[in-house]
């Protein structure tokens, strides 16, 4: 199933959605120690919180979710990193940072942070495409935001 997102004006949202975000704010700020405590304070059941928590974000938080960090182990051969960077460019992601370790035993670790806001594929699809490049031995998502 393809994920679809909507921008909805706050006054049109159901109370459970709004309270879910309030619970997340209390937890993020450290104003509540547990989900139970935060949900109780805003008048939301824990089951409603868990139902909505992974799908409710303020628009400005969603923008931060577009930054991901990938780690890759590459064979120390001419052109492998170039192919990886070419793949990243063709995916329409934007490289924000890149770090390559000194190769040891024929392998180098590369960590890249990407802006994926304009990327046409999912991050999972991108990591699968990167793994298919000759010389890429491992690729993993290590962070978001």
pLDDT in tens, 77-125: 999 999 999 999 999 999 999 999 999 999 999 999 998 888 878 888 9
The model's pTM: 0.57
Contacts of 108 (CB under 8 A, 6+ apart): 73, 74, 76, 81, 100, 101, 102
Q: Span 3-8, mean pLDDT?
A: 71
pLDDT of residue 55: 81
Reply yes or no on whether the pLDDT at 59 is more than 70. Answer: no
What pLDDT shows up at residue 29? Answer: 87
Q: Residue 64 pLDDT > 60, yes or no?
A: no
Cα(145)–Cα(141) distance, rounded to whole angstroms?
12
Confidence of residue 141 (pLDDT cuts 50, 70, 90): confident
Q: Are 56 and 24 in contact (CB under 8 A)?
A: yes
Fold topology of 65-144: Alpha-Beta Plaits (3.30.70)
Whether the pLDDT of residue 62 is over 60: the answer is no
Whether 61 has a pLDDT exceeding 70, the answer reads no
Average pLDDT, the chain: 89
Check pLDDT > 70 for residue 63. no
Residue 39: name the closest of 57, 3, 11, 15 by CA.
15
Question: Which one is predicted more confidently, 93 or 1?
Answer: 93
Residue 126 is predicted with a pLDDT of 92
Percent of the chain with pLDDT over 90: 65
């Amino acid at each position: 199933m393809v994920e679809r997102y909507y921008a909805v004006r706050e006054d049109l949202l159901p109370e459970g959605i709004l309270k879910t975000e309030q619970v997340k704010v209390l937890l993020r700020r450290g104003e509540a120690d547990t989900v139970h405590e935060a949900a109780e304070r805003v008048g939301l059941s824990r089951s409603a919180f868990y139902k909505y928590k992974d799908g409710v974000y303020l628009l400005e938080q969603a923008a931060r979710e577009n930054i991901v960090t990938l780690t890759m182990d590459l064979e120390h051969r001419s052109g492998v990193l170039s192919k990886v960077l070419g793949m990243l460019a063709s995916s329409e992601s934007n490289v924000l940072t890149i770090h390559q370790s000194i190769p040891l035993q024929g392998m180098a670790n590369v960590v890249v942070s990407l802006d994926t806001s304009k990327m046409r594929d999912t991050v999972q699809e991108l990591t699968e495409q990167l793994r298919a490049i000759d010389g890429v031995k491992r690729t993993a998502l290590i962070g978001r935001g």
